[in-house]
Amino acid sequence: MSVTVSTTRSRKPKNFPLYRTLPGFARDPLKELERISRAANGEIVRLDLGIVRPLLVTRPEHLQIVLRERSDDYARDGIFWRPLDDLMGIGVLGGTSESWATSRRVLQPVFTARNVRALTGRLADTINEAVDELDAAAQAGRPVQASREMARIVNQTVVRIFFGGKIGPAEIGKLDPAFEAVIASLAFRVLLPFMPETLMPRGRSYRAGIRAIDEVMYGLVERYRDDPGEDLDIFTALCRARSAEGSGLTDKWVRDNLVGMYAAGTETTATALSWLWPLLCHHPDVAERLYEEIDRVVGGDRVRPEHLEGLTYTKQVVQELLRLYPVGWQFPRVAVRSGNIDGFPVKKGQTLLISPYLTHHLESVWDRPHEFDPDRFAPERASGRHRYAYFPFGGGPHQCVGNHLFHIEAQLIAASVLSRYRPEPVGPVPSRPGMGRTLRLEHELEMRLVPVGERK
């Protein structure tokens, strides 16, 4: 299908009025958005959400226009982005177009595939050490919580990659609960951006969390900004970049970029990997293929960087779980000038709602979109697919700089855990996401980890 911007015809977007959609949004906002997306079938439609009336854009060809071809016309701004300002500030995940461009220019070399590969040995070592801590529960037959353990493993890994040895247990002890409190409140703030601060749920813990994050991050910057050393970690790279750029990059710039990338690197990876376990429980055929590959490639060893080349099906599993449950499930844009997309008029100031989750579930784009099928990403099936049919990390100039790091980390964690244990659910297995800033499990999954040699 080829779609271009039309300048000779005007098409009026279908409107979904509030009185028709409100009951569905009240019951299950994500399910109601799915219903609207199916009804639109890739066409641009207007949602009446009361205080805002965004255009819903889901077709890959339209997304290419917004995210890449005319990305300067559609800014990361507006009411849905403002809740992130306190946390992300002027870094690569927030800020104005000028501050974002500076951050992107400075940070992109840090996250190239080559530089990320240089970190892979340290990643593997840290992951192995974190997975070692599962052994006591596995040997005792004691259930663990999937999301909690993924968050623990990811946090330990990200702390080492981001900070090296510059951060101590006391500071980590402050950061973990602070980020947890802020992220919990952001779920409400993103969904209800027009609510007054005094009425916002968890407002006190949110503000306390921001203060704790600032205390730790600014303390680190003050200690190391003039002499960050030569360690291979993200914080050191940021401090060196600040020194190279001169006074144009402030302590706040370092803090905002570090906080934004740390939040993205921990929450997104942990949330995505938490979906691996219910999907394997629901799809034993996929689980057996995954186990066979990991047993063959890793065997009884501890995971190492050289194992990645052989973990091809593992990579497909990770790609498919991101298709079904992209962590950043929606990210709005605001038109900075009037124009049109395929003939649909877009006025200056208009909000566009973009959702990888909805595009990834379009029947006009994907065959059997609600089924978990990692073979979609086998080379012979993936070739020829539209670039914006699958975009869990965004696209165009604003594509997430950490996508290489995510894929390496996710594959190593999955391989490290499954080379040692097989998960067995205890209690109900989640099948629907809970909707907030990210798509989390609707309820916690408890599972026993059976050592591979003891599996019946």
Domains assigned to the chain: 14-454 (1.10.630.10)
What is the phi-psi region of residue 429: left when phi exceeds 0, alpha when psi lies from -120 to 50, beta otherwise?
A: beta
Residue 95 has pLDDT above 70, yes or no: no
Report pLDDT digits (tens) over 420-450.
999 999 999 988 887 666 788 889 999 999 9
For the four alpha carbons of 359, 363, 367 and 373, in that order, the dihedral sign comes to positive
Burial (CB count <10 Å: 0-12, 13-18, 19+), residue 249: buried
CB atoms within 10 A of CB 222: 10
Q: What is the percent of the chain with per-residue pLDDT over 70, rounded to a whole number? A: 90
Nearest to 32 by CA among 47, 10, 44: 47
Confidence label for 94 from pLDDT (cuts 50, 70 and 90): low
Give the pLDDT score at 191.
66
Task: Measure the CA–CA gap between 53 and 352, rounded to whole angstroms.
Answer: 9
* Extended strands (E) in 264-412: 333-335, 339-341, 344-346, 351-354
Distance CA 402, CA 398 (A): 11
Structure tokens belonging to residue 392 = 């869990």
List CB contacts of 355: < 8 A, sequence separation 6 or more.
Answer: 33, 37, 56, 58, 329, 330, 331
pLDDT in tens, 127-165: 999 999 999 999 999 999 999 999 999 999 998 888 888
When comparing pLDDT for 247 and 294, which is higher?
Answer: 294
> Mean per-residue pLDDT for 322-327?
93
Annotated binding site: 400
Average pLDDT, the chain: 86
Give CA–CA dist 116/145, Å, rounded: 29
Residue with the bigger pLDDT between 229 and 217: it is 217
Residues of each annotated binding site for heme: 400
d(CA 311, CA 373): 17
Give the integer Cα–Cα distance in Å for 393 and 92: 14
Q: Is the pLDDT of residue 84 over 90?
A: no
Q: Is 345 left (phi over 0), alpha (psi -120 to 50) or beta?
A: beta
Q: What is the pLDDT of residues 35-80, one digit of tens each?
A: 999 999 999 999 988 778 999 999 999 999 999 999 999 988 766 6
Mean pLDDT of 384-397: 93
Helix, strand, coil % over all residues of the chain, rounded to 5: 55, 10, 35
Amino acid of residue 135: D
